[in-house]
Structure 1
Amino acid sequence: MLETLRERLLSVQQDLTAGLKTLGDKSREAKKSRYEDAWAALHKGAKDCAKAGELVDSEVVMLSAHWEKKRNSLVELQDQLQQIPGFLADLECLTASLAQLEANFEEMENHLLCLEDLCEQCELERYKCMQTLQLENYKKTKRKELETFKAELDAEHAQKVLDMEHTQQMKLKERQKFFEEAFQQDMEQYLSTGYLQIAERRGKF
């Protein structure tokens, strides 16, 4: 609308200028005319109107630029206002996503706690298995030591039995030898004297 007004003012200014020029030409042709003073006054008024029109035109241009800037700001504000519902929808979606993310974090934390418990149980079972294995190895070691010690005792006992049997046999041989010698002496004494001294030798064995 302001642009149309501006165009009309420019058209009026051009028409007035052209009319005044035509009138000036005709006035020059009629060197003497009774309307010369009136035309001069009219011409001066037209110039004043033209200057006033130019002033109004400049003000209209400035006003148009001002309202154009305001219109652009208003259009930009309107565009931003139109984006508000979408922004609110995005914000609501983001809020829902944050709530879901918080729930996921809580679920993940619970899973981590369960995993920690499982790790502790696995560590306990591993420790039990290690202790059981150590106990079995200890039992095997002690069993081998016991078997070795038993074998050593058996060998020592067998050796002691052999030694005892050998000692007993030696004593028996010595006793037998003693009796044989005593018998031989008795026989020799008996043959020489006809008398035996058996009671004197009974206390030695």
Structure 2
Amino acid sequence: MYITIYFDFSFRGLSVTDPPLRLQVNSDVNYNAGADVLHKYQSQWSELHKLAEENAVKAEELDSIIDCLHTKFEKQWSDVSHVASTLAAVPQLLTSVQQLMEQIGALQELFEDVEGALFQLEDMVETQDLQERQLDHRFQFALYKEKKLAELEAVRASLASEHADKMVQHELRQQKLLRERQDAFGQAFQQDIQEFKLSGSLPKVKNISVARGPSLEEVTLEPANTEELDKFLNDGNIAEQASRDSCADVDKPVKESAGS
């Protein structure tokens, strides 16, 4: 803070008419001498003081302007330094960008390889699934085949058992029929023998026929000659064997159909 003291008084205001001091004054001294000079110096000093104050204010303004310019120049210098460092790092940046481009190309090739491997893996997975489904179907087919074979074996066993039962029943019927025929032929033969012993000739028998050999009516036996009787008996055995063979031939297709 500047404190300015202005002196408004002037030595010209002083006059000799003022009451004199109680000092001894020499009447030969001119008290107004140099008043103009002092007034001039006082005016110049006041102007210098005023100019000094104006210069101080302007100096403060100039100092603030210089401070602003300094700050601005410092900022510009910092920006220029940053730009210079950035420009200096441009070659390294270009090199880094080139390396990044090469790495991106390598990654792209790697991605393509991985994509191809994924497609192959997908094909392998589909092939594996297909093979597993084929194995599953084969296993199911094997189970179905075993089931059908078991059913076929069961049917075959049932048919074989049924056929065996029928054959047993047929054999029993054939044996019964043969026994009945043998009994009938035996009774007829005994009757013929008795008749032959009594009358010497064989009676004619109706509804009884033999497939082979002479009939009983055609046989005439002498008591001493038994060759014709033996021949007749042999022919009866041959006829019985032929009837059994015919029954076996009839049953053979039935067995073959049951076995198939």
Q: Tell me the CA shift for residue 135 of structure 1.
A: 2.2
Structure 1 counterpart of 2:130: 124
Of 154-163 and 188-197, more deviation after overlay is shown by 188-197
Give yes or no for the alignment of 1:58 onto 2:60. Answer: yes
Relative to its length, the structure with more helix (as a share) is: 1
Is the alpha carbon distance of 1:101 and 1:68 closer, same or farther for their aligned partners in structure 2, counting shifts above 3 Å? Answer: farther
What is the CA RMSD across the aligned residues, in angstroms? Answer: 3.8
Choose from 108, 113, 119 the match for 1:113: 119
Of 96-105 and 60-69, more deviation after overlay is shown by 96-105
Structure 2 counterpart of 1:171: 177
Query: Where in structure 2 are the equivalents of 1:1-205 lying within 5 Å?
Result: 33=34, 35-78=37-80, 80-81=82-83, 82-83=85-86, 85=89, 88=93, 92=97, 98-187=104-193, 189=195, 196-203=202-209
| 1:160 maps to amino acid | K
Highest relative contact order (Cα 8 Å, sep 6+), 1 or 2? 1
- Which ranges of 4 or more aligned residues in structure 1 deviate by more than 6 Å? none
Give identity over the alignment, percent.
Answer: 24
Q: Tell me the CA shift for residue 66 of structure 1.
A: 2.0
Measure the CA separation in 2 of the matches of 1:31 and 1:179.
213
Structure 2 counterpart of 1:11: none
Is the alpha carbon distance of 1:83 and 1:41 closer, same or farther for their aligned partners in structure 2, counting shifts above 3 Å? Answer: same
Measure the CA separation in 2 of the matches of 1:172 and 1:101.
101
Describe the superposition over 1:44-89 as per-residue Cα deviations: whole angstroms up to 9, x where unpaired: 2312321331232132133123213313432442354225627946
Of 156-165 and 122-131, more deviation after overlay is shown by 156-165
Measure the CA separation in 2 of the matches of 1:164 and 1:127.
53
Q: Tell me the CA shift for residue 175 of structure 1.
A: 0.2
5+ long unaligned stretches in structure 2: 12-30, 212-260
Number of equivalent positions: 183
Greater Cα radius of gyration, structure 1 or 2:
2
Q: TM-score, normalised by structure 1?
A: 0.67
Paired residue secondary structure (1:202): coil
Q: TM-score, normalised by structure 2?
A: 0.55
Measure the CA separation in 1 of the matches of 2:95 and 2:33.
85
Measure the CA separation in 2 of the matches of 1:110 and 1:31.
121
